[in-house]
A and B are shown apart, each in its own frame.
Chain A
């Protein structure tokens, strides 16, 4: 059971990005729109056409690229800006560390940990008291 829970968990698209995928994303950001042929012309010494086609298709399926068809060719463009991607990646890593009980092993002292709806209600109550106290203080001044 623990094996299943540790290794059977479906990874999100951001976790799964490999070196080639990252490189292709960088090209999509740089050129705004790319075809498999464009990328192949730049990378043909290292990679086969089919590898690039499969990888671009995988990025599209992960929701990181958009695509439109023109004739027989697909034109790929990034679904996220580089800034959004970096933000999601950092945020994702942080969330992963905070929320995955397996990954809660980071040695950190946090001002606020994860906040649930129950916590939110408690914070509302605290807010009412804080506002009342501040009002009282400003009146006395």
Chain B
């Protein structure tokens, strides 16, 4: 009974904390949208990712970092207390949430691996890697420039795209993809795809779409800061965009859009127009290193505070758990 109660509590706490934190995402998103003109695309993408990933991180921390030690420490192991209906319901919802996450992520991995396998079957590697990343030219594929792989990135390029782009434009497109690799956007996508998107919280899907568009803008800016000409990048976008359009890719990828007029291509074309007219400064467009340092410091402080406050907090947490059990 002790272990069953413990498991139910962990699941229930994870579900409650996830939902409460997810609900606070909406005001956070509104604040970000209100001040979006003040932040660069890279910073906005980082914020959106944090807003989306935080509910799960806090859910795990609260359940495994607080509820579990509190229960272990203060609950007598010979307890005969039965989980009540509310606790069982919350635990069941927690189970559904976790199963859903595993289902989504296994599906994503399967689709991605199948796609890569299919491309690799029809692909030949280009003689030179692009800045250390292997590039494959795929025959018989719809117009494509994409980077696949979370830990071992590979760039795939379709033959029609390779034919239509000149060397500068091709390098610009590859530099854009390289920017995604350096900001680990595929790993972030992995996390985002895993996140639950309850139907009654539709704005969570909007955050994913916004992140998708914003990360594209950030990759453009990063490529430009690293020396890519905005003109070449724009030409590459125009040519590949037209190829995609001609090949019949006219449907909107609904899952990546907030509304009909804000597809990543639309937003990027507008953004590149702005960059062509005003330019982008390296300080503004390269916040990743500062962000990494800032967040490492924050994580260290939070961990220290957690360790210091843990023994003081545990009795309070246990009292709160008693409330859920009853």
Indicate whether A41 reaches chain B with its CB closer than 8 angstroms.
no
Enumerate A96-123 residues with CB–CB distance to B below 8 Å.
97-99, 101, 103-120, 122-123
Question: Which residues of A lie under 8 Å from residue B122 when comparing CB positions?
Answer: 86, 90
Indicate whether A30 reaches chain B with its CB closer than 8 angstroms.
no
B182 to chain A, nearest CB (A): 11
Question: Which residues of B lie under 8 Å from residue A123 when comparing CB positions?
Answer: 237-238, 241-242, 265, 269
Tell me whether A112 and B115 are in contact in the complex, defined as CB-CB below 8 angstroms, given that A90-B140, A122-B265 are known contacts: no
Do the beta carbons of A113 and B190 come within 8 Å of each other? no
Enumerate A23-77 residues with CB–CB distance to B below 8 Å.
none
A117 to chain B, nearest CB (A): 7
Which of B24-32, B61-69, B253-261, B309-317 lies on the face that meets chain A? B253-261
Question: Among B140, B234, B266, which residue has its beta carbon within 8 angstroms of that of A119?
Answer: B266
Interface size class of B (residues with CB under 8 A): 35 or more
Indicate whether B33 reaches chain A with its CB closer than 8 angstroms.
no
Enumerate B260-284 residues with CB–CB distance to A below 8 Å.
260-261, 263-266, 269-270, 272-273, 276-277
Bound form: Cα–Cα A137–B276 in Å: 13
Indicate whether B150 reaches chain A with its CB closer than 8 angstroms.
yes
Main SS at interface, chain A = helix
Do the beta carbons of A126 and B234 come within 8 Å of each other? yes
Question: Which residues of B lie under 8 Å from residue A125 when comparing CB positions?
Answer: 269, 273
Do the beta carbons of A107 and B142 come within 8 Å of each other? no
Question: Which residues of A lie under 8 Å from residue B104 when comparing CB positions?
Answer: 105
Interface residues of B (CB under 8 A from A): 104, 107-109, 111-112, 114-115, 118-119, 122, 138, 140-148, 150, 173, 176-177, 180-181, 185-186, 189-190, 193, 215, 219, 231, 234-238, 240-242, 244-245, 247-256, 260-261, 263-266, 269-270, 272-273, 276-277
Interface residues of A (CB under 8 A from B): 83, 86-87, 90-91, 93-95, 97-99, 101, 103-120, 122-123, 125-127, 129-130, 133-134, 137
5 A-B pairs closest in CB distance: A111-B145, A109-B180, A87-B140, A104-B255, A122-B269
